[in-house]
Amino acid sequence: MALEKMLSSRSNAGSFFFSCPNAMTTLLALDTATEACSVALMHDGRVLSHYEVAPRMHAQRLLPMIQQLLGEAGIAASALDAIAFGRGPGAFTGVRIAIGVVQGLAFALDRPVLPVSNLAVLAQRALREQGATQVAAAIDARMDEVYWGCYRAEAGEMRLLGQEAVLPPEQAEAPRGSDGEWFGAGTGWGTFAARIALTPVSMDGSMLPHAEDLLTLARFAWARGEALPADQAQPVYLRDQVATPKAPPA
């Protein structure tokens, strides 16, 4: 469905809400960086989310899912205060789909954007579902590498320890000086668990980012005043040769 129709149309589908604080803000979150396609909406202190594992269907599913959420909440897109998105790392095409939709909406509505790391979203999901307070997030980056980031819970928010990176599994370690038990989250564990240098106490190698957790992280970022203009909705790939073509040798 065209963006213009989505901005003005509504759906009569049923809804499932749960309460959350910060009722005065209306935020939309969306993610297509991995096999999962998901959207979440916070409005009037409640959250509604849709999640599908739909490889290669993100471009077809994302706008209808957003339209459905707006319809279920009974609001127009103009009610949004900001739009959050998974900015990567992840699949090149999937990240670009999210960027395109976010920029289209944000420019049309004159709203700011909130970029959120997909590795952080994985860690936040592990906190929500598993109660894990230290998470080693790993996404299968292909080419015998993983996208890697380690996070620790602080006041309900998973915060990065060290840096995010793309590297061979054998180099995926806990940040220097950190201690305690780790939970492994993400497809990098599903593919490379035996080769990753860090040994977790438990793991979920099939876990994918969920927009519900992206929304949680976006709320923290919004409260800190980290929203950006729409033209700054940019992807993060970590792998330089994918993000930026290298100059030919002199």
Question: Would residue 5 count as lying in a domain?
Answer: no
**pLDDT at residue 177 in the model:** 86
Give the chain's domain count: 2
The CATH number of whichever domain residue 144 belongs to comes to: 3.30.420.40
3-state percent breakdown (helix, strand, coil) of the chain, nearest 5? 35, 25, 40
**pLDDT at residue 78 in the model:** 97
- By the 10 Å C-beta count (0-12 exposed, 13-18 middle, 19+ buried), 235 is classed as buried
For the segment 210-222, the average pLDDT, to the nearest whole number, is 98
Question: Would residue 6 count as lying in a domain?
Answer: no
Give the pairing of strands 82-86 and 113-116. parallel
Between the alpha carbon of residue 92 and those of residues 31, 86, 215, the distances in Å are 13, 12, 22
Tell me the average pLDDT of the chain.
89
Domain extent, residue 79, equals 27-117+209-232
DSSP state string for 20-78:
-S-TT--EEEEE-SSSEEEEEEEETTEEEEEEEE-TT-HHHHHHHHHHHHHHHHT--GG
For residue 244, name the pLDDT band (cuts at 50, 70, 90): very low
For residue 34, name the pLDDT band (cuts at 50, 70, 90): very high
